[in-house]
Amino acid sequence: MDKIAIVLPYPGAETQTPLWAFAENTIDFRAQPAEAARCTLAFAAVELKNYLQRTLESASIAFTDQTSGGGLRIHLGVDDPGSKDGAFSLEAIPGGVSIRGAGRAGALYGAYEFLRLQGWHWFAPGVDGEIAPPKAAACRLPAGKISAQPSFPLGRGFVFECVSRESAQLLLWMARNRMNLSGFRPSTGPLGEKLCMSPAIGGHLFEPILQPDRLLPSGLTLWEERPEWFGLPESGVRRKELAHATQFCVSQESLMDFLAEELLGYLRGPWRRSDRVDVWGFDTWGGICKCPDCRRLGNGSDQSLHFVSRLRHRIDDARARGTLDHDVRLVLCAYEGTSTIAGPLHSVPENLLAAGDYVTFYPIKRCYAHDFTADRCATNRAYRGHLESWLAARGALPVMIGEYYNVSKYEDLPLLFTRRLAADLPAYHRMGARGMTYMHLPLVAWAMRTLTQALYAQLSWDATTDVAAFLEAYFRLWYGPHAAPMRKAYELLEEAWSHVGQWRNWGPASVLSQLQAWDGATPEQPLAGNDELTPGTLAAAGARSLGLMEEARGLMEEAARAERRRLAQGPEAASAAALNPIEAREREMRRGQYERRLGEDRRLLRYGIEVMDLMAQAAAYHDGLASGDASAAESAWTRMEALEEQLDAYYLPIDYEQPGAGLVARDALTRSQLRDLMRRCRCARAARG
């Protein structure tokens, strides 16, 4: 039996490590950096022990604070206990191996790197998402010194909306994949702090704060008492019903004081655990304030920088006076909906640079048929120019990229972004971006989207990853004997949905937006199309995508049949009874893992096929009416009604209420965002007789 000692730099480690590892609920991670580091390193030690016991054929593994002794010794250490720096080194040394982190996150990531060296992978949360290596006689040691640091040190994670979007297993998956940007949630907050997450909150927070009908202590509404706080539109006339159609007036110092106090109230109260706050303008795709003082500031980004600089002054003052107990990084957005997509015309305020504040660039209507840097794509070329303008601004702020791999218009579709991830994340890094996030991570039923999350996490950590090798390992480990047909199925699906932006993006040009704006009556013109899907070709484009998805479905169904045949080839070996429910679940997960994964893929694909079919048929119905081709229109309508019945007959995975806590399970028709279209079309048909 191999003897392994996991060495921690804390007296009493032999008996206390399992207690320290789960003491996060008793630690103030800001005020007690030494205890915080001990908790994280102890948890790394526990993870090492648990996974190595499942790796090795026979081993005795113990914790110790003694740096010398017999057997293999795994030394865990940290350079700066008060830091969450993720850089680490992994090195074979006489008698064992050294795992050392620049901060406590680095020590944790280094432990997981050592487990990767043994063959462990974590492609999805939970036991059913991890890949165990074959049993080994001894640990595999690094051949030389491994030094690693993140390609995107600003943060690597997801935009977390919705209070109920919370999962301990997800946080563990994120840490095991070296991700660190999450939302703070009360029940998992201490776990996230132990795992070195940087909790972020905020966003479009000023809409509710600046509601025109909000009652003030004076008894007057905000609009009645302070109409000048609302932005002056191009027309020169403020109107209450359009108060949020223009960004608020950032030249009003009294408004800056009011908003700063509101923000400080959040930071002292419900947001006190967050160390990053998104401060974005109104998400109304409107204009910027045109009053003379705001005009002098520059464009929308200059106005936003001016505003956030004023917030920064007030937060720094609160810290100096002791009325705010922690540092906070402020995060702006570069985004069309707030008129800030183009970089500023003037210099970035010095106080924002000094505080480490940054901007997240959100190309919400980008094209996924082409790489972000593709010159031939006019849409992406424009976004690239805007990103470059932010990166080249005088005294440029650090830039994070905010992608849209699961934005609400795309949710629960069987989308793949493998080619885009492989090309775009290294390109973002070369251009100078230093953070990655995306909207909005699904918590359940990842299916084929597992590859998106796993590859996104890997490239966010290391933008130079050998993607071909990563994909080979993913398909081999995730699908076993079905790797080849499933890889082909994925390629077909990615091609089928390559124009997902043109079909379903935000903004009036997408097919979905055009259908949602249609009243169902006989139109005068066919659907307008957009930059990639031309007028009159939408039904044909949809049919092509459906053909690709049906081919993918055939491959998946054959793989599922083959897996069932494989499982039925012989009786399952008898095994001892599980010791507890967790062990029983683990065994069940292992027994049918390929069958379950294929089933999850097929269920999500069914929804994708039906949604694409309904969109294409709706386009054919619309254009048949416009052209006077009654036969084509009626044929499309018949198919639309059949799809309506199919989609209305089953639920899609959990969705979340916003704001506040709560869960919703929507039927597939509602989730497709086309239910209202069917009602309008039916009403219009009845009116025509």
In the block, tokens 């009053």 appear at 291
- Both 67 and 216 in one domain: the answer is no
Cα separation, 638 vs 618, in Å, equals: 11
DSSP strand pairing (435-438 vs 399-403)? parallel
Distances in Å between the alpha carbon of 109 and those of 150, 235, 529?
Answer: 11, 55, 47
Percent of the chain residues past pLDDT 90, beyond the cut? 88
- Both 433 and 498 in one domain: the answer is no
Residue 429 pLDDT greater than 60, yes or no: yes
In a domain, 294, yes or no: yes
In a domain, 455, yes or no: no
User: Which residue type, as a one-letter code, is found at position 574?
Assistant: A
Domain end among 444, 476, 511:
444
State the CB neighbour count (10 A cutoff) for residue 147: 11
User: Which residue type, as a one-letter code, is found at position 124?
Assistant: A
- Both 216 and 280 in one domain: the answer is yes
Q: What is the mean pLDDT of the chain?
A: 95
Structural domain for 499, as ranges? 491-567+590-688
In a domain, 511, yes or no: yes
Residue 573 pLDDT greater than 60, yes or no: no
Query: How wide is the angle at C-alpha 668 spanned by C-alphas 665 and 673, nearest 5°?
Result: 100
Cα separation, 287 vs 571, in Å, equals: 68
- Both 435 and 559 in one domain: the answer is no
In a domain, 449, yes or no: no
- Both 86 and 233 in one domain: the answer is no
Q: Across residues 233-240, what is the average pLDDT?
A: 96
Domain end among 148, 170, 189:
148
Res 2: pLDDT: 82
- pLDDT one-digit tens code per residue, 48-80: 999 999 999 999 999 999 988 889 999 999 999
Q: Across residues 401-410, what is the average pLDDT?
A: 94
In a domain, 187, yes or no: no
CATH number (domain holding residue 138): 3.30.379.10
- Both 549 and 412 in one domain: the answer is no
Phi-psi region of 6 (alpha: psi -120 to 50; beta: other; left: phi over 0): beta
Q: Across residues 163-171, what is the average pLDDT?
A: 93
- Both 522 and 667 in one domain: the answer is yes
Residue 255 pLDDT greater than 90, yes or no: yes
- Both 143 and 264 in one domain: the answer is no
**b vs e for 407-445, b when ≥16 Cβ sit within 10 Å of the residue's Cβ?**
bebbbbbbbbbbbbbbbbbbbbbeeebbbbbbbbbbbeb
Query: How wide is the angle at C-alpha 18 spanned by C-alphas 16 and 22, nearest 5°?
Result: 115
* Three-state secondary structure call for residue 246: strand
Res 579: pLDDT: 60
Tokens of 314: 């007030």
- Both 97 and 11 in one domain: the answer is yes
Domain end among 106, 126, 148:
148
- Both 501 and 426 in one domain: the answer is no
- pLDDT one-digit tens code per residue, 178-195: 999 998 888 999 999 999
Q: Which positions ≥6 away from 662 have C-beta within 8 Å?
A: 163, 164, 656
pLDDT band at 308 (very low <50, low <70, confident <90, very high): very high
- Both 550 and 627 in one domain: the answer is yes
DSSP strand pairing (358-362 vs 96-101)? unpaired
pLDDT band at 36 (very low <50, low <70, confident <90, very high): very high
Cα separation, 410 vs 406, in Å, equals: 6
In a domain, 372, yes or no: yes
Q: Across residues 601-626, what is the average pLDDT?
A: 98
Range from 107-111, 534-538, 658-662 carrying the lowest mean pLDDT? 658-662
In a domain, 46, yes or no: yes
Cα separation, 451 vs 415, in Å, equals: 10
Res 163: pLDDT: 86
Cα separation, 434 vs 400, in Å, equals: 6
Res 591: pLDDT: 74
- Both 141 and 21 in one domain: the answer is yes
24 neighbors 93 (Cβ within 8 angstroms): no
Query: How wide is the angle at C-alpha 141 spanned by C-alphas 37 and 148, nearest 5°?
Result: 50
Number of domains into which the chain is organized: 3
Q: Across residues 658-682, what is the average pLDDT?
A: 94
Distances in Å between the alpha carbon of 412 and those of 184, 540, 541?
Answer: 24, 24, 21
In a domain, 452, yes or no: no
